[in-house]
Amino acid sequence: MQEKRDKLAQWQQKLEQGKARFPERKAAFETSSGIPLQTVYTSLDLPQADEFSLPGEYPYTRGVQRNMYRGRLWTMRQYAGFATARESNERYKYLLSQGQTGLSVAFDLPTQIGLDSDHSLAEGEVGKVGVAIDSLEDMEILFSDIPLDKVSTSMTINAPAMVLLAMYLVVAEKQGVEWSKLKGTIQNDILKEYVARGTYIFPPEPSLKIVTDIFAFCADNVPNWNTISISGYHIREAGATAVQELAFTLANAICYVETALAAGLQVDDFAPRLSFFFNAHSNLFEEVAKFRAARKLWAEIMRDRFGAKVEKSLLLRFHTQTAGCTLTAQQPDNNIVRVALQALAAVLGGTQSLHTNSRDEALALPSEDSVRIALRTQQILAHETGVADVVDPLGGSYYIESLTGQIAEKVREQLAKIDGMGGAVAAINAGYIQREIQDSAYKYQLSVENKEQIIVGVNQFTIDDESQPELLRVDPAVGSEQKQRLEALKSRRNQEAVENGLAAVRLAAERGDNLFPVVLDAVRAYATLGEICGVLREIYGEYQAKDLV
């Protein structure tokens, strides 16, 4: 060991002598999380507690499965949804025909905050950033001719997650598909909405109650469904560092587990269906180390903090999306390269499913051509590069192992701080997490403006005359069309059944009963999303964000 230290010291001395001739190009080399980077890494930098571990074995740093992609490739999803259910259905069928292996539904903003398309606040937003879903009828059209027992479906929906999942289950009923055969994920992660995204409806306490109602119902009735996708993605998009993304996501996950336990659920009954959603950013090696550290930390938390006994309860399974905030409107074709490298980080880090962003998403919803290129990026990684042929191919790298350990330690420090404040909800109510994200976002923006961080095509290597790809345009008539369809539905449905269904939702909310069975009945009667959420608004109230500026 001493011989190694002496050799390293001699090397460092020669390095310093050479710097006079070739000065370093940066004042400081560090990751996005501020972790200082050495010039070179050796076996001396391996974590002290490093132990021989293999994929599929505790603490799962190297992967949750023993043979990973050698047995089955990651699920290739493309997040899609726009305009009406019929147009989105056509895009889904196109993507499936091109080799996509799972669906990922994007909902428009009114749907995300529990408003029908005919609400005054929905004006101008219907179908713009996702598909408009007002009722079971829309969900039936959305999945028309798509057999739900053959595809895995992810739905990015949070505050009204229960209502949208209920609609999906009823569509399965109408297709004759047993719920036990359904596979997929509902995001259902309300805590990150308060700190990073903003599509909340109710205050944290009743929102958490809805989350655990979904846990309990699905544990008994939809056993293969992932009942939550605890999201670091949006936290990172809001400006967090890699360490903050992981720390705040795990803090939220701890809160969900504690809430479920307090509601009387047993940890090993619901924990196997918890899943995660992370961002793949541009710092390739930091991202790989982040994913590896995430698995290790979650296994420790579930075993040591919550006493989980079932192996599946310890496994951190995650979906990854490439970083939307890194996409540039300038020279949009550069985004193809960014996405490819970010997707590589996700695969090297062991993701279970992946969405690759499209080159034109900084300008508009992705065109069909752009979506195909994004999907082909995943297929090229899977079938042409060899990165899927070995489990954890960067495992054993002095740099990766050192960085994995440093990220894990910094995340532990953040979790201890949040625990000391009383947990995630207390930290959110105090504005701590929001301020930490804001500070990081501000520092990053300054680094771009000062050209400490180079963004190709934005603050360096710019061109004057840029050609833009052909963009997808959502027909402005979508809003009017959706309103007309909603009006027609209301005129022909059984209004007495709707009123009875909404009354049952109100009574269950007042009593504190599990809401899922009554929401299912209301959905079957074609009560709308806005009507069901409206009843819950009356009982639970609406969350008002604090001004932290």
Does residue 450 fall inside a structural domain? no
- The sign one gets for the Cα dihedral 378, 382, 388, 394 is negative
Concatenate the DSSP letters of all residues of 232-293 into one string: SHHHHHTT--HHHHHHHHHHHHHHHHHHHHHTT--HHHHGGGEEEEEEE-S-HHHHHHHHHH
> How much of the chain exceeds pLDDT 90, in percent?
87
What pLDDT, in 10s, does the model give residues 88-146? 999 999 999 999 988 999 999 999 999 999 999 999 999 999 999 999 999 999 999 99
Q: Which of 120, 196, 209, 104 is closest to 157 using CA atoms?
A: 104
Q: What is the count of structural domains for the chain?
A: 2
> Is residue 502 domain-shared with residue 418, that is, in the same domain?
no
Q: Which of 305, 238, 312, 240 is closest to 269 using CA atoms?
A: 312
Q: Looking at residue 465, what is its pLDDT?
A: 74
Q: The CATH number of the domain where 125 resides is what?
A: 3.20.20.240
Q: Looking at residue 79, what is its pLDDT?
A: 85
Secondary structure element (H or E) that encloses residue 79, with its range: strand 75-80
Residue 50 pLDDT > 60: no
> Is residue 265 domain-shared with residue 121, that is, in the same domain?
yes
> Is residue 202 domain-shared with residue 337, that is, in the same domain?
yes
Concatenate the DSSP letters of all residues of 133-178 into one string: --SHHHHHHHTTT--TTTSEEEEE--TTHHHHHHHHHHHHHHHT--
Q: Looking at residue 548, what is its pLDDT?
A: 64
Q: Looking at residue 215, what is its pLDDT?
A: 96
> Is residue 322 domain-shared with residue 218, that is, in the same domain?
yes
Does residue 411 fall inside a structural domain? yes
User: What average pLDDT score do residues 242-247 get?
Assistant: 98
What pLDDT, in 10s, does the model give residues 463-472? 987 777 788 7
Query: How far apart are alpha carbons 507 and 514 in whole angstroms?
Result: 11
Does residue 35 fall inside a structural domain? no
Contacts 24+ apart (CB under 8 A), 435-438: 435/548, 436/240, 436/244, 436/248, 437/195, 437/196, 437/235, 437/238, 437/239, 437/240, 437/244, 437/248, 438/239, 438/548
Q: Pick the last residue of a domain from 433, 455, 471.
A: 433
User: What average pLDDT score do residues 200-219 get?
Assistant: 97
**SS3 call for 387:** coil
Residue 413 pLDDT > 60: yes
Q: Looking at residue 49, what is its pLDDT?
A: 57
Q: Looking at residue 51, what is its pLDDT?
A: 60
User: What average pLDDT score do residues 192-213 get?
Assistant: 96
Does residue 25 fall inside a structural domain? no
Q: Looking at residue 488, what is its pLDDT?
A: 97
Number of residues written out for the chain? 549
Does residue 14 fall inside a structural domain? no
Per the structure, the complete domain to which residue 84 belongs is given by 68-433
What pLDDT, in 10s, does the model give residues 327-379? 999 999 999 999 999 999 999 999 999 999 999 999 988 999 999 999 999 99
Q: Pick the last residue of a domain from 433, 461, 484.
A: 433
What pLDDT, in 10s, does the model give residues 70-93? 999 999 988 888 989 999 999 999
Query: How far apart are alpha carbons 197 and 206 in whole angstroms?
Result: 19
> Is residue 379 domain-shared with residue 511, that is, in the same domain?
no
Does residue 333 fall inside a structural domain? yes
Q: How many helices (H) and strands (E) does the chain have?
A: 21, 9
> Is residue 526 domain-shared with residue 378, that is, in the same domain?
no
Q: Looking at residue 365, what is its pLDDT?
A: 86
Q: Which two tokens stand for residue 39?
A: 């010039």
> Is residue 245 domain-shared with residue 323, that is, in the same domain?
yes
Write the single-letter amino acid at 199: T
> Is residue 533 domain-shared with residue 388, that is, in the same domain?
no
Q: Pick the last residue of a domain from 394, 412, 433.
A: 433
Does residue 39 fall inside a structural domain? no
Q: Looking at residue 549, what is its pLDDT?
A: 57
In the predicted model, what is the mean pLDDT of the chain?
95
> Is residue 383 domain-shared with residue 281, that is, in the same domain?
yes
Does residue 508 fall inside a structural domain? yes
